[in-house]
Structures are given as structure tokens and as C-alpha cells.
Structure 1
Amino acid sequence: MEYSAKVLEHFANPHNVGKIDDADGIGEVGNAKCGDIMKMYIKVKDDIITDVKFNTYGCASAIATSSIATDMIKGKPISEALKLTNKSRCGSS
């Protein structure tokens, strides 16, 4: 499979990797068949996601997608972050 330059960049240098010890919210998703597991931590103040971190164990596209998703929700209201889907695009509102 050939990956786009953006996916390769986020795989090689993922943004927002890590854990937030005093997170306001923690979510975990995974696919045991595929082997991809992602855990995301968020900090929220006044309904705005002020910080977001993730740990993903899986393939290049899973790591890149996690990185891109955290970039897309950081600084956004919870209501906007909840609208993020697999059809959402980077740079679109």
C-alpha cells in the first residue's frame, strides 16, 4: 500500500504523543484482528479541548490517523470534536 506524504510525515513524526495523567477524558479503541489499539487523553476547560495526547500501537496509517485526529480536535469545542468522523478531512471545518 502506498501512503500519502501527509500520512508518512505523521507516521514518522506523530504529533501529540503521550499521556495526560490528570486527563478529563480517556477513550480507548482497538481492533484485535488488525492489532491496532489507540488510547486518547483530553484536557477540557470551558468546553474547549485544551490538550490532547494519544498512544497508538499499530500500523503506519493507525498512528498517522491518531496524530492527525489530535491536531484536528485540539483547541476545538467538545461539540465540534464529536462531529469528527472517518470522512472528515484535514484543514476542513
Structure 2
Amino acid sequence: MLYSDKVFDHFSNPRNVGEIENADGVGEVGNAKCGDIMKMYIKVDGGIISDVKFKTFGCGAAVATSSMATELIKGKS
């Protein structure tokens, strides 16, 4: 298998997909070589990331890592 089960799960069932209206922070990055474009939105309450969403257009690894990143940062300061 090219990807681990965890990576494949996040690609097949990405978490936190979408946009946040009136986000406190928005970041966008792209890779010209493979055509991936990733945009992440965060909402911060009391110094804590209370919500995070992403939109990624690209390969399976890009979608999976975006999904994993949202899971890692939610609830962090």
C-alpha cells in the first residue's frame, strides 16, 4: 500500500471540510509542481482555536494532510 491506513482514511473521509464565515484567520498555499491548492480557515475564542475548516484541491496526500492538520490544531492555543 502506498499510503498508511490513517492517511487513506483521512483522504476517503476528510474531517472539517468547508469554510468559516468571518474567520479570524485564513491561510492559502499552493504548489505549482503538482497543482495542489490548500486554504485553511480558523476561528479563535479566548486565544484557543475553536473551529477550523479547510478546502483543498489536489492529490490524496494533500487532502489527507489538510484533514489531519485540522484535527491536530483544533482546541490548541
TM-score (norm 2): 0.97
Measured in 2, the distance between the counterparts of 1:17 and 1:57 equals 11
Measured in 1, the distance between the counterparts of 2:46 and 2:54 equals 21
Alpha-carbon displacement from aligned partner over 1:6-65 (angstroms, at most 9, x marks no partner): 010000000000000110000001101110110000000111000000000000000000
Which residues of 2 match residues 8-87 of structure 1 at below 5 A? 8-77=8-77
* Secondary structure of 1:72 counterpart: helix
* Secondary structure of 2:22 counterpart: coil
Aligned Cα root-mean-square deviation (Å): 0.9
Measured in 2, the distance between the counterparts of 1:4 and 1:38 equals 21
Structure 1 residue runs of 4 or more that deviate by more than 2 Å after TM superposition: none
Which structure has more strand as a fraction of its residues? 2
* Secondary structure of 2:37 counterpart: strand
Instruction: Work out which structure has the larger RCO, using CA pairs closer than 8 Å and 6 or more positions apart in sequence.
Output: 2
Measured in 2, the distance between the counterparts of 1:19 and 1:10 equals 18
Number of equivalenced pairs: 77
Measured in 2, the distance between the counterparts of 1:33 and 1:61 equals 14
Match of 2:55, as an amino acid? N
> What is the identity percentage for the equivalent residue pairs of Structure 1 and Structure 2?
70
